[in-house]
C-alpha cells in the first residue's frame, strides 16, 4: 500500500490497480476439470463491508461508465451485471452525447433511429431492477477543448434535451441543472488533443470558465480520481468552493480488462445516504456526503472522512498501548503500520493518529484524536 502514497504534485498521478496475484478471494472464478471437461463457476456477488456512519448507510457506486452506445465495448446490461458482481449499490451509465462512433459517427447527427441518448438507460433499467441495483440516469457532455473539458450530469430526466443545445456547453450544463441534475467536471487533468499539453511546472487550475458555471449553480462537483488517475489538488478545490468529490472508473472496456475480477482497489464513490433509494442518493450528492475510495486510498471532506473512520475502526486503550480493530473492508495506513481490512493492529499509546492513506485535502492525511 505504501507505494501508492506520498504524491505531492497537483498533476494527475497514475496508479497501478493490479490485484495481488498471491491471494484468491472466495468470489474468484473456479476452473475445475473432470474427465476432460472444464467447468467454470462465475464469481458470486461480492459483499463489501462498511458500517453505517451515524444514521447514514454507506452505499457504493460508480457514476462514470460507457457502453456501445457511445465509445464503450459492452452492452448496457453488462455494466449492470458487472456492478452487481462487484458489490455496488448504484451506477450511472454516462454515454457521450457528442462522441458515438459505434453508431456511425462522432456527432449527434447520426443515422435514423440512432439519436436517442436515453437508450442505454432504457435498456439497462429492467436488468438493474431485477438485480436490485439502483440505476441513475446520466450522460457525458464532451467538449474537445480545455477549458471547458468534459462533464457528467447524473439524476437528469432526459439526455435528449441536453443534446438539443449541443452547440453551447454552458446551455448544456444549464439544461442538466434545470432538470435537477448533479453536474461534475470529469478528469480535470485531461489535456485536449493537439493542445501541446500542460506546460512544464504549470499545475492544473480551476479556470474562470469553471468558476462562472459554479457560481450559476450549474457545476456541483469534480472527479478526484478517474480510472487510474488521481488528481490531488481537487480535494482543496472542493473544500474551498463547496463542491462534491466523485471517484469513478470511466470504464470503456470490460471490468475484467480494466481491473480484473472483483478488484477492491477499483474506484468507487461512497455515498452516505439516509436510505437505499435514488432520492436519498441524490440528496447525499447535493449535501456533499460523498467519499472517494480507490487504489487503497480514501478522499473526502474532513467531517465525513473522520466520521467514516470512527465508524470503521474501533480504538481500545490498554496498559500496553492501543488496539485498533478495523471492522470494515477499507484498509488503513496508521503512521507506517498497515491496518488491513477486518484486521487488528497493536500500536504504542498516542494522543493522535495519522491515517496516511485517508485524505481530507491535497496530500493532507486524516488526523484522529484518541478519545
CA distance 360 to 291: 10
User: How big is the chain, counted in residues?
Assistant: 371
Q: Where are the alpha helices (DSSP H) in the chain?
A: 76-85, 119-130, 159-163, 169-178, 208-215, 233-241, 255-259, 278-286, 302-312
Entry pTM: 0.89
Please report, for residues 9, 155, 172, 232, 258, the alpha-carbon distance to residue 97 in angstroms, rounded to integers and kept in the order given. 32, 16, 10, 28, 23
Using an 8 Å Cβ cutoff, are 46 and 262 in contact?
yes
Q: What is the mean pLDDT of residues 290-313?
A: 98
Using an 8 Å Cβ cutoff, are 32 and 39 in contact?
yes
CA distance 358 to 334: 9
H and E: helices and strands count for the chain: 9, 21
CA distance 78 to 66: 11
Name residue, grid cell 500496553: 320
- Of 8-12, 143-147, 336-340, which has the strongest mean pLDDT? 336-340
Range name among 131-145, 181-195, 296-310 with the lowest pLDDT average: 181-195
CA distance 12 to 190: 9
pLDDT of 43 higher than 90: no
Range name among 15-24, 179-188, 256-265, 335-344 with the lowest pLDDT average: 15-24
Query: What local confidence, expressed as pLDDT, does residue 41 receive?
Result: 67
- pLDDT tens digits, 211-235: 999 999 999 999 999 999 999 999 9
Query: What local confidence, expressed as pLDDT, does residue 128 receive?
Result: 98
Structural domains of the chain, ranges and CATH numbers in brackets: 2-14+46-305 (3.20.20.140), 312-369 (no CATH)
Q: What is the mean pLDDT of residues 169-192?
A: 94
Using an 8 Å Cβ cutoff, are 20 and 28 in contact?
no
Q: How far is CA 83 from the centre of its chain?
A: 12
> What pLDDT band is residue 329 in, cutting at 50, 70 and 90?
very high
Using an 8 Å Cβ cutoff, are 99 and 142 in contact?
yes
Query: What local confidence, expressed as pLDDT, does residue 24 receive?
Result: 44
Classify residue 114 by burial, with Cβ atoms within 10 Å: 0-12, 13-18, 19+. middle
Query: What local confidence, expressed as pLDDT, does residue 112 receive?
Result: 46
Using an 8 Å Cβ cutoff, are 277 and 285 in contact?
no
Query: What local confidence, expressed as pLDDT, does residue 198 receive?
Result: 52
**How much of the chain exceeds pLDDT 70, in percent?**
84
- pLDDT tens digits, 99-137: 877 775 444 443 444 678 999 999 999 999 999 999 999
CA distance 189 to 187: 5
Amino acid at each position: 500500500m505504501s507505494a501508492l502514497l506520498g504524491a505531492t504534485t497537483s498533476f494527475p498521478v497514475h496508479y497501478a490497480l493490479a490485484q495481488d496475484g498471491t491471494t484468491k478471494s472466495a468470489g474468484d472464478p473456479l476452473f475445475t476439470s473432470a474427465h476432460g471437461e472444464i467447468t467454470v463457476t462465475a464469481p458470486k456477488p461480492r459483499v463489501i463491508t462498511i458500517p453505517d456512519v451515524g444514521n447514514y448507510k454507506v452505499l457504493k457506486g460508480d457514476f462514470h461508465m460507457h457502453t456501445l452506445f457511445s465509445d464503450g465495448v459492452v452492452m448496457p446490461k453488462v455494466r449492470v451485471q458487472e456492478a452487481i458482481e462487484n458489490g455496488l449499490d448504484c451506477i450511472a451509465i454516462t454515454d457521450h452525447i457528442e462522441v458515438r462512433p459505434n453508431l456511425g459517427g462522432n456527432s449527434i447527427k447520426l443515422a435514423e433511429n440512432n439519436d436517442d441518448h436515453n437508450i442505454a438507460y432504457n435498456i439497462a433499467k429492467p436488468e438493474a431492477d431485477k438485480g436490485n441495483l439502483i440505476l441513475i440516469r446520466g450522460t457525458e457532455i464532451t467538449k474537445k477543448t480545455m477549458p471547458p473539458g468534459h462533464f457528467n450530469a447524473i439524476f437528469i430526466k432526459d439526455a435528449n434535451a441536453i443534446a438539443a443545445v449541443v452547440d453551447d456547453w454552458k446551455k448544456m450544463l444549464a439544461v442538466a441543472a434545470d432538470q435537477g441534475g448533479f453536474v461534475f467536471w470529469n478528469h480535470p487533468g485531461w489535456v485536449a488533443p493537439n493542445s501541446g499539453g500542460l506546460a512544464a511546472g504549470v499545475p492544473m487550475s480551476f479556470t474562470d470558465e469553471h468558476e462562472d458555471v459554479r457560481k450559476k449553480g450549474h457545476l456541483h462537483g469534480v472527479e478526484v480520481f478517474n480510472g487510474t488517475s488521481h488528481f490531488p489538488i481537487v480535494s482543496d478545490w472542493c473544500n474551498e468552493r463547496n463542491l462534491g468529490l466523485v471517484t469513478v472508473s470511466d470504464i470503456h472496456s470490460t471490468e475484467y480488462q480494466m481491473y480484473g475480477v472483483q478488484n477492491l482497489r477499483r474506484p468507487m464513490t461512497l455515498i452516505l445516504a439516509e436510505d437505499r433509494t435514488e432520492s436519498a442518493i441524490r440528496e447525499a450528492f447535493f449535501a456533499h456526503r460523498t467519499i472517494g475510495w480507490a487504489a487503497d486510498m480514501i478522499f473526502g471532506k474532513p467531517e465525513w472522512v473522520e466520521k467514516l473512520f470512527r465508524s470503521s475502526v474501533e480504538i481500545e486503550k490498554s496498559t500496553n498501548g492501543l488496539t485498533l480493530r478495523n471492522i470494515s473492508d477499507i484498509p488503513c495506513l496508521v503512521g507506517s503500520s498497515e491496518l488491513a481490512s477486518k484486521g487488528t493492529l497493536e500500536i504504542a499509546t498516542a494522543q493522535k493518529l495519522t491515517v496516511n492513506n485517508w485524505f481530507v485535502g491535497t496530500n493532507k492525511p486524516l488526523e484522529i484524536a484518541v478519545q
